[in-house]
Structure 1
């Protein structure tokens, strides 16, 4: 099973891999390609049970998802940074840990919209109603999305699997990452307070940073260019190629 695909054109000497929120897919990051330096590639998952792979069975096991992504990344020796939003932050973190255990550490880990894993409370697997209520509250989909039973029937398998992996995630102690960890969030995201983001500093042995933008849990959609610039800047600094024009 192949999960990753390249979003950008051309061949780069390094890459950024972006992991989406629960129920999302890599296409949410396609706009970022407009702001990439020519030497950097942008990659993202093309996951089962959504978009072109809608009829495939979803990945339901977090360890399998992480292992598959890590195997694909390990096959390529180029410098790699990871970005994840919400559930994608937990996936990116565990992929970074797995690669480091294989002596293939990522250059930088940027997490977004998720408190540090060691401070997360135990959470229960949500019902379909709770999943849809969560999507509504975050503004992930337009109102008409929730009024189309046939469409909901198609997308619910992927949503269920992602939410169950996210809510079933349990942190395990491990070695600190050698990569710098940067934690991003929205100032109005009540579910991810500033102290939850700051706690990510405990996961890095080399340094950390925290940055917040106006908005709620999905702040990155309305600040796409700024967030992309920040992530690209973090990556470029991690490979010794800072760009003065990028934020960070």
Structure 2
């Protein structure tokens, strides 16, 4: 893995399973740090460091899916780990899915397991108007009404908000301009995770994921809303461990 694209919160040299994580819109690698110590010892967590945030905040963020997944595939390199999984939350779920398809197009080893979290299936139509082109104040109001996802500490600091908004708008452009291309289902297992109070995790919004992978699909719903991850870390880490290690045992 290209070091500029990866953060490894806890190094586990004996781990035999790699878990690559992708954040929600506006999120960074730091959201996954608490999970690194909660996961079983056999799992090495690597969080993707995306341009436009955290240690890469001076770099322009991607605002379209194709160049983003191409850059991520380049970062993984020509030889992915023997056993690995992709985990993405919200926007990250869609990016993880398209990254797996890009790896397939390149003839690379695919993940054993794709975990998509808090994101409607990409073939589900959205009636909400796109947000990324709105003026800043209208954009903020819509984001808070739909997701409540901008931390209060950022909202109260104009300088922080000015730094944060371009990256958040670019992330929204990534998935709001995305169109699902027809390709065969991915030959891997897929797991859907979601929050019980999150509309994007409702069956009518998320069940379509199961048709996009041919290795079987499972579903886990946790108490909470769109950001159930931060409220249910031990339970989510336990579920990830169960899903990944069961898959590892089946593989070898």
TM-score with structure 1 setting the length: 0.89
User: 1:133 pairs with 131, 141, 163, which one?
Assistant: 141
Inter-CA distance 131–232: structure 2 relative to 1 (3 Å threshold): farther
Aligned residues: 242
Unaligned 5+ runs, structure 2: none
- Retained in 2: the 8 A contact 1:90–1:117? yes
Instruction: Report the RMSD for the aligned CA atoms in angstroms.
Output: 2.1
Query: CA deviation digits over 1:74-126, x for unaligned, max 9?
Result: 44432110111100000000011122231411110010111111124375243
Aligned to 1:3: 5
Q: Which residue of 1 aligns with 2:73?
A: 70
Structure 1 residue ranges without an equivalent (≥5): 243-248
The match for 1:124 is 130
1:149 aligned to 129, 150, 158, which one?
158
Task: Give the drift of 1:130.
Answer: 4.6
Residue 113 (1) aligns with residue 118 (2) = yes
Compared with structure 1, are the counterparts of its residues 218 and 130 closer, same or farther at alpha carbon in structure 2 (3 Å cutoff)? farther
1:47 pairs with one of 46, 50, 54: 50
Alignment match of 1:82 (pick from 81, 86, 92): 86
Instruction: Please state if 1:206 is matched with 2:218.
Output: no
Which residue number in structure 1 is paired with residue 228 of structure 2?
A: 219
Aligned to 1:177: 186
Deviations 1:49-78 (A, max 9, x none): 212222222122311110111122244432
4+ long deviations beyond 6 Å: none
Aligned residue in 2 for 1:194: 203
